[in-house]
A and B are shown apart, each in its own frame.
Chain A
Amino acid sequence: MQATEIVKLIDTTRCTACRGCQVACKQWNEMPGKRTRNFGSYQNPPDLQWNTWTLIRFQEHVDSKGNFKWLFRKDGCMHCTDAACVKVCPSGALFYTEFGTVGLKEDLCIGCKNCVAACPFEVPRYDGAKDRITKCDLCHTRLQAGRQPACVLSCPTGALTIGRKDMMLKAAEKRVKELGGDANVYGDKFVGGTHVLYVLSEKPEVYDALPKSPSVPLSILVWKDFLKPVSLLAAGGILVGSFLHYLIHGPKLPDDAGDAGKKEGGE
């Protein structure tokens, strides 16, 4: 089934950090709450975890003019078009859905943690008890049923919207123009374009835990696009080479005077 590519737009300037999305995500995906810790912020839990697929990050920011700002950013899977996690997944548990998002067939996950290391946004989290990873799948089954993801449905301010990719991009650019200043669209310029876009009020580098220009890491490209084919080519070359060696040069036969002629080599 080929559906149109969809994009979730997160307009951080409209977010009031009510965390309705965080709760709705947990409810829909039946993720348990866990004991947390206070680290002097409303941000709770402190980071994404296997049972928390989306998280509002609270950041206190003083801009160059000395104005204090409270920045809220909904963190979670960005649903890359060129996803490092899908590239490294050995079992096909991580896959591209018909919407262009990155889905997770959790029964296929073997808990190898390749994706945990590979993701430039550090999104996939490992659940040790079940020996598998978890992450946002943008409510794949809800999308299939023609419904909005739980987070979008819960958002009271219109900070979260979802729709066709081209329309959401246009909406994001329009909003950035309205805001002016440092406002920018984040997500369309790298990893083939993400299926989660931000409208940010500040430059990307201002935000905590947000890479400025994420990419599929070089180490992963060397591994998957170079060494992987080279391993087969090298071994194949050796096999063919050995066969040709046998035919052309021939094996190195023992001294066929054999054991009988031991006197010439021995004492």
Chain B
Amino acid sequence: MIQATDAFERIVHWVMAISCIILFLTGLGMMFHSLNFIGTMMGGLKSLKFVHNWTALVFGFSLIFAISMWWREAGVIEMPEDLEWIKCAGGYLWHVEHPPESGKYNPGQKMFFIAVALCGPLMVVTGLLMMFQILPTALTRWMYTLHAVGFVTLFAFFFVHVYLGTVGNPGSFQAMTTGWVTRGWARKQHPKWLKEMEHHGTLVVYGEEKKPAAGGHG
């Protein structure tokens, strides 16, 4: 087994994920009259509004950690190799004999990170300006539109992320639970990253050296 994430990364990820899901649900409860019952479960839409606004604070903090922690690895598209990957969609959409080898984050993951890193702060800022309407009314109105643009983007990306992080890429989910992934997974998904770590001697390995054939979780 190979260590893919440290505990702090996983905590930030889940704080963000859970706050984001709560924000989705409460936001939907306000966006659609047919989903007002989500508010009823919280003791009314007014409570739902408070849950939404305060959860946004948690989301905002997790966003600060997430961006400062991951932008170097996941926020920079490296031009020749990442473009090659994008051209063949990393082999995800049609058969590609040898998709370009990706590093720790493939360009698809980078795009997801960039979407969150842009839309996340957009949601916090527009949300605050909807709460505290300090701008001229003509501008405040567009904050609602931008908030909805951010929502459309994040909501769609959310499902892509959930699919690709679970059943779409078996073996990936452990990276966000225990933090340990198999060597076979790493070789398939992020060969360049694996090689780099082996080369630099930064690979953190657990279990496999003693019982190479067991393949269990020790």
Binding site for B on A (CB under 8 A): 88, 90-92, 108, 110-114, 116-118, 122, 131, 217, 219-220, 222-223, 227-228, 230-231, 234-235, 237-239, 242, 245-246, 249, 251-262, 265-267
Contact = CB atoms under 8 A, between A and B. Distances in A.
CB-CB nearest 6 A-B residue pairs: A90-B30, A242-B163, A227-B148, A254-B185, A219-B141, A255-B188
Interface residues of B, number: 57
Given A116-B137, A238-B163, 9 more contacts: A91-B45, A112-B130, A219-B145, A227-B149, A227-B152, A251-B168, A259-B183, A265-B191, A266-B183
A116 B152 contact: no
A249 B169 CA distance: 12
A173 to B, nearest CB: 32
Contact of B144 (A131, A220, A239): A220
B182 A235 contact: no
Given A117-B137, A238-B156, A260 B49 contact: no
Contacts of A217: 138, 141
Contacts of A251: 167-170
A255 B155 contact: no
Interface of B: 1, 29-33, 36, 39, 44-46, 48-49, 91-94, 130-131, 133, 137-138, 140-145, 148-149, 151-152, 155-156, 158-160, 163, 167-171, 182-185, 187-189, 191, 194, 198, 208, 212-213, 215
Contact of A239 (B149, B159, B171): B159
A261 B131 CA distance: 57
A251 to B, nearest CB: 5
12 contacts: A110-B49, A111-B49, A117-B141, A220-B145, A235-B156, A235-B158, A242-B160, A245-B92, A254-B171, A254-B187, A260-B213, A266-B183
A30 to B, nearest CB: 22
Contacts of A261: 184
B141 A249 contact: no
A261 B92 CA distance: 24
Contacts of B141: 117-118, 217, 219-220
A237 B93 CA distance: 15
A91 B155 contact: no
A234 B115 CA distance: 15
B91 to A, nearest CB: 8
A242 B168 contact: yes
Contact of A252 (B143, B168, B187, B212): B168
Contacts of A258: 182-184, 215
A223 B160 contact: no
B155 A234 contact: yes
Nearest to B143: A117
A231 B155 contact: yes
Contact of A131 (B30, B46, B171, B183): B46
A231 B151 contact: yes
Nearest to A266: B198
Contacts of B94: 249
